[in-house]
Amino acid sequence: MATQTEHYKQRKPPWLKIKLPTHDSFFQVASLIKGKHLHTICESARCPNITECWSKKTATFMILGSVCSRDCAFCAVPHGTPHPLNADEAIHVAESVDVMDLRYAVITSVTRDDLADGGASQFVAVIQAIRKKRPQTRIELLVPDFKGDEKALLSVIQAGPDVLNHNLEVPERLYPIINRPPENYCRSLELINRAGRQGVITKSGLMVGLGENEDDLIRTLKDLRGSGCDLLTIGQYLQATEKNSSVVKYYDPDEFSRLKTKALELGFSAVVAGPLVRSSYRAHRLYRKMQDIQQRTS
């Protein structure tokens, strides 16, 4: 049996090759984020698309600090005791969105179980700051589960995000493998369902390659659609460090194409699936597809 280190060092297939940054825009974004003392999921989660996105002057801002209160086995974001909240974080995010001239901003966070509302009030503050600074910008939130607190979720929805994203991540059977309580699976589905009932566009993301089978995936897709999820991303899990879960399987592009087809057949409005797809990857395109569908059916 291969060890964790052997898995980590195994050669990736050619379709997972990424480019190194060379474009000036990449370094401009890096300088802006550093200057504003902000965090991005692009860096913290070691996203393979950071070169493409930053070179196009877009990024996914990560609020509530840089330390997560949970320890999911797949995630490269540091975990431990979180730092106190930055009172200027919302303003700095809004300023960065304005400087980068973003028409579509994606905001995510670490999980903050140490906070009474799970960080919901900070999401609200960020939305309000962006709306004040740049009202024409569309806002997508990728939120944690707020510990199942319906009041916290409602406060975020009432602040008016254009899309509410919450990642289911993997099939329920794999939750113990990624160090998540199995009951959190239903909690996440309920969050998506509650958001959809409030009239907001809902979105979720799955990663494959951690040991799931076809039946697991089909059931998970049906669970998401049954909860009213509108938009979906499916991407390849990549092991970021030797401490993270090992990759069990690399899916090829054709397999992702078949998963996308199946998801669309089940009723998702728009799906992006591919080896390097991440939850916020080309998020504006999924939103536009949803808008087109709403316009045609209105």
Q: What is the pLDDT of residue 14?
A: 77
Q: Tell whether 94 is covered by a domain.
A: yes
Q: What is the pLDDT of residue 5?
A: 47
Q: How far is CA 230 from the centre of its chain?
A: 15
Closest Cα partner for 208 from 266, 265, 269, 167?
167
Q: Provide the domain limits for residue 274.
A: 24-297
Q: Tell whether 4 is covered by a domain.
A: no
Q: Tell whether 131 is covered by a domain.
A: yes
Q: What average pLDDT score do residues 145-160 get?
A: 97
Q: Tell whether 14 is covered by a domain.
A: no
Instruction: Read off the pLDDT of residues 113-141 as tens digits, 9 standing for 90 and up.
Output: 999 999 999 999 999 999 999 999 999 99
Q: Tell whether 65 is covered by a domain.
A: yes
Q: What percent of the chain has pLDDT over 70?
A: 82
Burial of 120 (0-12, 13-18, 19+ CB in 10 A): buried
Average per-residue pLDDT in the chain?
87
Instruction: Read off the pLDDT of residues 219-278 as tens digits, 9 standing for 90 and up.
Output: 999 999 999 999 999 999 988 888 889 999 999 999 999 999 999 999 999 999 999 888
Per-residue pLDDT at 55 exceeds 60? no
User: How far is CA 83 from each of CA 67, 71, 292, rounded to the nearest angstrom?
Assistant: 7, 16, 42
Closest Cα partner for 71 from 205, 244, 188?
244
Which of 82-91, 143-152, 209-218 is predicted least confidently? 82-91
Instruction: Read off the pLDDT of residues 194-221 as tens digits, 9 standing for 90 and up.
Output: 999 999 999 999 999 999 999 999 999 9
Burial of 8 (0-12, 13-18, 19+ CB in 10 A): middle
User: How far is CA 289 from each of CA 51, 139, 143, 271, rounded to the nearest angstrom?
Assistant: 25, 15, 21, 9
Closest Cα partner for 170 from 162, 179, 161?
179
Determine the longest span between alpha carbons in the chain, in angstroms.
Answer: 56
**Local confidence band at 11 (pLDDT 50, 70, 90 cut-offs):** confident
Q: What is the pLDDT of residue 54?
A: 53
Neighbours of 101 (CB within 10 A): 10
Predicted TM-score of the model (pTM) = 0.87
Contact between 133 and 89 (Cβ < 8 Å): no
Angle, nearest 10°, between helix axes 120-133 and 150-158?
Answer: 0
Closest Cα partner for 204 from 139, 286, 110?
286
Backbone angles phi, psi at 221, to 5 degrees: -60, -40
**Local confidence band at 12 (pLDDT 50, 70, 90 cut-offs):** confident
Q: What is the pLDDT of residue 223?
A: 98
Q: Tell whether 232 is covered by a domain.
A: yes
Neighbours of 199 (CB within 10 A): 7
Rounded Cα distance between 236 and 207, Å, is 5
Rounded Cα distance between 274 and 298, Å, is 31
Q: Tell whether 193 is covered by a domain.
A: yes
Q: How far is CA 115 from the centre of its chain?
A: 21
Q: What is the pLDDT of residue 89?
A: 93
Per-residue pLDDT at 19 exceeds 80? no
Number of folded domains in the chain? 1
Task: Kindly compute the dihedral angle of the four CA atoms of residues 23, 103, 281, 22, in this order, to the nearest 10 degrees.
Answer: 0
CATH code of the domain covering residue 173: 3.20.20.70
Amino acid at 22: T
Q: What is the pLDDT of residue 24?
A: 66
Q: Tell whether 102 is covered by a domain.
A: yes
Please indicate whether residue 250 or residue 37 has the higher confidence score (pLDDT): 250
